[in-house]
Amino acid sequence: MFTQKFKGFFLAVVFTLMLPALALAEAEGIVKFGVTPTDLQEDFFNGYGKNGYLPVRLTGYKSGSSTRYFTRWMQNTGNKQWYAYFGKTMAEFDQIYLAMKAQGFYPVDVSGYDTANGIRYAVIYHKNTNGTGWLLYRHSTRPGMQTLVDTVGQEGWVPHRVEAYESNDESRYVSIWYHQPGTGYYMHNKMTRQQYDDHLNNYKQNDYLPVHLDAHTVNGDVYYSGIWKRVNSAWRIRTNRDWREFQRYYNNYWAAGFNIDNFYAAETPSGIRYGGIWFFDAVPQVNDNSSLHLKIRKEIDSAKARGGAAVINLTTGQQTMVHADQEFAIASTSKIGILYALLREIDLGNDSWNAVMNSGAQFGTNQGDWLDPNTNYTVRQMAEFMIRSSNNWATNRLVQRLGATTINTRLDQLGLDKTRVNRYMTGTGAPSMHGNSNSGEDRAEGWENKSTPREMVTLLKKVLQDNVLSNTSETRFWNTLKMDGDNDGVNEKSYIASTVGPMFNPAISVWNKGGSLTGAPRYVRADAGRFRFPDGQEVLVAIFMDDISDSPDDFDTASDATVNAAVDTIKDVAKLIANQYHN
């Protein structure tokens, strides 16, 4: 089959068979994009693949000079035999094809993609236990695809996958076809955005919906490929979104009962863009017996935000991670990392807890009205102001004193490669780190202080258990995080301390630091800290809500109701954690 050249420009063979959505009878499985080749091999092939999962979708794409993958793995409830490959040259791909065909396997997914080293292929084969008739073609031209439509397409063969890539300034295609006589479908390749929109609108009038989508770029122009079949299901389709928008849709759709069935990622002149097709399965049901993971995910993914959470119970060893490796803007929650770096510098003899520093002119918002201009304070006082009332002026003076490079180096030395201070806190007099007039302009350009939920709880864990600070500095770290405005010994800081602290008697002790950003270009609410339960259990928590907005396509706008609901989500997740571990 590899000597033939085909490419489906357009095909319409209309019958009345209604095909079920592929996701309807199956759980979502493990879905992840931005996967490196190393992580694909270690986490998926050597991890999930050896622990009861099988691959059902694997598509590669170029990201700058790197190669990334978007993949989906399902529980292998039927104990299917499978093989999957990625990063293969054309010659290797051909050898695999011959070997798999001879051993009775059939392809369920295929991808062709450009890399820094040339065109590469990924493919998934399952054992052909049902006698599925199949054809596989690669490196087809567009006229060749039309030939395929006009030949095998008229003989009962139906396209299952069609993906495109650029080769020598022209489109090339790889496709899978199944022998399914009587199945109606449409297929279009090298569609402009307008052509795709037109076909989508026209075909859905007769219940023909995309079951496969792909995008690729040729000479700077983006083109789409798609296969339409009749689907009797509620559905959602989104294309041409950046990763933050796509993830937001993904989360919200899952919470509403839609499982992703097909997806793509493509490098375009506007950056990496993502698309996906979701079909309705069932709204995830949560009850008292549900896992903590499911409870937290349902809360977070139902919010009008892109959220994530990490929970580590240091006493039992249980970990719960929900979107825990995604980057989030964390606003003033980043002050936890600044406090750590300051105390680490003190341990190294580069600073002193009791050193005197001058406040100077206003250098950011003066929350709590703690600071007076041109007044001397100790480093300790400035650190306490930073945590007690989230004073930006004090924080910025400490950042200036330490240097953002030093802070980030200290975090990096803990293995935290995504937790970064990238700008000063905002407010009157707050300077720029990036050649702008002020910190607000840095923020408008997208500079944010960031972390992941997993890295934030890792930071807290290292301070509590790994002796990364001296005993004196560790005590100062936790004593400072437990302070609030009135400092009466009961931490009532937003959001998690004020929520969890009063839930039980005796009370749960909480050390934390919340954060918030309001207004374009993004609305953020975040919190992270430590819970100590009356029975001695130690639980570390990070709950981040980024990209809070009324619409996933407009992160610049969020109503008060939407923002307040995101805050409630943080509080509700904190309550779930407290109830889970309180005895």
For 263-290, how does the pLDDT look when each residue is reduced to its tens digit (9 = 90+)? 999 999 999 999 999 999 999 999 999 9
Query: For 374-393, what is each residue's pLDDT tens digit?
Result: 999 999 999 999 999 999 99
Whether the Cβ atoms of residue 306 and residue 526 lie closer than 8 Å to each other:
no
How many other CB atoms sit within 10 Å of the CB of residue 400?
Answer: 14
**Token output for 374:** 């041109």
Res 440: pLDDT: 97
Mean model confidence pLDDT for the chain: 94
- Indicate left, alpha or beta for 197 from its phi (over 0: left) and psi (-120 to 50: alpha): alpha
- Look up tokens 């990070």; give the residue: 542
- Over the stretch 400-410, which tens digit does the pLDDT of each residue have? 999 999 999 99
How high is the pLDDT of residue 9? 30
pLDDT tens for each residue of 525-567: 999 999 999 999 999 999 999 999 999 999 999 999 999 999 9
Please give the backbone phi and psi of residue 234, each rounded to the nearest 5 degrees, phi first.
Answer: -65, 145
- Is the model's pLDDT at 494 over the cut of 50? yes
CB–CB of 427/393 below 8 Å? yes
Average pLDDT of span 212-220: 96
Residue 554 is given by DSSP the state B
Nearest to 515 by CA among 329, 280, 279: 329
Nearest alpha-carbon partner for 82 in 118, 58, 65, 107:
107
Q: Which two tokens stand for residue 1?
A: 């089959």
Give me the half-sphere count of Cα atoms (radius 13 Å) on the Cβ side of residue 13: 21
- Counting residues of the chain whose pLDDT is more than 70, the rounded percentage is 95
CATH code of the region 306-581:
3.40.710.10
- Residue 523 and residue 544 in contact, taking contact as beta carbons nearer than 8 Å: no
Q: How many CB atoms lie within 10 A of CB 149?
A: 22
* Straight-line distance from the first to the last Cα atom of the chain, in angstroms, rounded to the nearest whole number: 65
Q: Measure the CA–CA gap between 329 and 449, rounded to whole angstroms.
A: 6
Mean pLDDT to the nearest integer, 165-193 = 96
CA distance 227 to 321: 35
Q: How many CB atoms lie within 10 A of CB 54?
A: 22
Question: In terms of residues, how long is the chain?
Answer: 583
Q: What is the reported pLDDT for 28?
A: 86
Helix (H, G, I), strand (E, B) or coil at 153: helix
State whether residue 319 is helix, strand or coil: strand
Q: Is 29 left (phi over 0), alpha (psi -120 to 50) or beta?
A: left
Token pair in block for residue 108: 């369920």
Q: Measure the CA–CA gap between 428 and 422, rounded to whole angstroms.
A: 18
Helix (H, G, I), strand (E, B) or coil at 500: helix
pLDDT at 12 over 50: no
Cα 417 to chain center, whole Å?
16
> What pLDDT score does 500 carry?
97
3-state helix, strand, coil in the chain (%, to 5): 30, 35, 35
- E-strand spans in 94-220? 105-115, 118-127, 134-140, 157-167, 170-179, 185-191, 208-218
What count of Cα atoms within 13 Å lies in the side-chain half-sphere of residue 209? 21
Cβ neighbors of 129 (< 8 A, separation 6 or more) are 80
Rounded to an integer, what distance in angstroms lies between the CA atom of residue 355 and that of residue 380?
A: 8
H/E element holding 250? helix 243-255
Residue 360: per-residue pLDDT: 98
Contact 228, 178 (CB under 8 A): no
DSSP 8-state symbol, 330? -
**pLDDT band, very low/low/confident/very high, at 508 (cuts 50, 70, 90):** very high
Mean pLDDT computed over 484-506? 95
Q: Where are the domains of the chain?
A: 10-284, 306-581
Residue 573, H or E segment? helix 560-581
Q: Are 157 and 179 in contact (CB under 8 A)?
A: yes
Q: What φ, ψ does residue 287 adopt, rounded to 5°?
A: -140, -175
d(CA 379, CA 463): 20
DSSP letter for each residue of 424-467: PPPSTT---SSSSSSHHHHHHTT---EE-HHHHHHHHHHHHHS-
Q: What is the percent of the chain where pLDDT is above 90? A: 95
Give the span between the Cα atoms of 463 and 472, in whole angstroms.
12
Q: For residue range 400-442, what is the model confidence (pLDDT) as tens digits?
A: 999 999 999 999 999 999 999 999 999 999 999 999 999 999 9
Q: What DSSP character marks residue 493?
A: -
Residue 583 has what pLDDT? 87
Contact in structure between 267 and 63 (CB atoms under 8 Å): yes
Short-list 340, 371, 341, CA closest to 357: 371
The reported pLDDT for the residue numbered 210 is 96
Write out the two tokens for 366.
Answer: 């003066």
What is each CA distance from 220 to 160, 246, 266, 270, in whole angstroms?
A: 27, 22, 12, 10
Q: What is the pLDDT of residues 107-161, one digit of tens each?
A: 999 999 999 999 999 999 999 999 999 999 999 999 999 999 999 999 999 999 9
Is a pLDDT exceeding 50 seen at residue 7? no
Query: Could you tell me where the DSSP H helices lie in 261-372?
Result: 292-301, 335-347
At 229, the pLDDT band (50, 70, 90 cuts) reads very high
d(CA 573, CA 55): 32
Give me the pLDDT at residue 23, please: 33
Band of residue 307 on the pLDDT scale cut at 50, 70, 90: very high
Classify burial at 105, counting beta carbons within 10 Å of its beta carbon; exposed 0-12, middle 13-18, buried 19 or more.
buried
Residue found by looking up tokens 């339409």 in the block: 228
